[in-house]
Chains A and B, each alone.
Chain A
């Protein structure tokens, strides 16, 4: 991946919660919080929509809502990730229910291609196009894991599932994706 695009970096546990508390009154804390989570939110939305412009709009809407309600966040009730992705998932659900648009992987930015062309554009499109044809639950865990880059415990926090259940769901989703890429109709669940 070219350095000109921002990869999502893992955030140490507890760091976001501290920043969220401070961000109510501190511009610097807000900036740190935003920089830690905006890239992963973008990837999450892109994984679902396949569109850079849509992903950008949804990131914007999510953070605007988050900022307006940041003072209501309580770390003792759950992680900041769970709170933020809760907003993100509602935004996405609303978009899907209102537009019901198909995944537009053709919007994949070509300048985001790896320099060594290890992963060709066609293959990238095929991969996420195949994801878009999976059931909603499969798409969600794949987007949270390989789009947003969340860990299993983080996905469990966001979805409210047990980590073990997340593992099984992800395993099955990858199985079904693999089968679809191989030309099969479904997975092995």
Chain B
């Protein structure tokens, strides 16, 4: 058996280098070649599209100076949510917050999130660190991580990322699972931002307009629902049944994004409340 297996290996890995093969080995080698030929190659359009998306993810993870677009956008949206919630809850901040929120909402509508370069240089933060468990990530984050007690069927925690940008530390729970619909970076991402102060740094630049945004209450906490989804390239696209839910609970901002309906997002977010 081992001799024949070796002959087969030679025939498959070094075609042309082997001599006359026993009929059975020859038949198996031929079957292997047919299998190889029957397996389709990847569509170049997919390879190219994913490659571009991954470059942006790489930029987010590696975060060389001035290229932290996706990360900065996530933080900025959290900041925007805080501003919106401030507008809803805190009268002294109302005017300024409403102006900022108006810009944010329009960004969703126009599917563009732009981040201007930082005006002042700040020390480059450590790269995002990824952990396989919540416990390990919690130790690195330095604050307790909320985990949903409810998840849609088939979803499971994949990994936890701890990030820090401009003094704003956050964690992202990446869930995987088989959900229908277009591919996202993860079918479900829950981000948690601690601290009531908006971080300094990247500034959002938005166009005017705004639709598909709804303020609501989740278990008595102020929340914001925005219809749309993140694309593979880290851009926000308006429309569709999916969306992003932001919920404030004290100094914690929870952001639930994924291929989920409004009801599912609310259900997930509510299950994270004490």
Q: Which residues of A contact B (CB under 8 A)?
A: 1, 4-8, 23-25, 27, 30-31, 34-35, 38-39, 42-43, 46-47, 52, 55-57, 59-61, 63-65, 67-71, 91, 94-95, 98-99, 101, 108-109, 112, 114, 118-119, 123-124, 127-128, 131, 142, 145-147, 149, 151-152, 163-164, 167-168, 170-171, 174-175, 177-178, 181
Contacts and interface: CB of A to CB of B under 8 A. Distances in A.
5 contacts: A6-B43, A27-B58, A164-B5, A174-B8, A177-B31
What is the predominant secondary structure among interface residues of chain B facing chain A?
helix
A168 B156 contact: no
Contacts, number: 166
A112 B45 CA distance: 13
Contacts of A168: 1-2, 5
B4 interface: yes
A1 B42 CA distance: 11
Interface in B53-110: 53-55, 57-59, 61-62, 64
A174 to B, nearest CB: 4
Interface string B32-55: 101111111111101100110111
Interface residues of B, number: 52
Contacts of B27: 178
What is the predominant secondary structure among interface residues of chain A facing chain B?
helix
Contacts of A127: 34-35, 38
B9 A109 contact: no
B20 interface: no
Ranked 10 nearest A-B pairs via Cβ: A42-B42, A5-B41, A167-B5, A112-B40, A124-B38, A146-B35, A171-B5, A174-B28, A146-B36, A99-B178
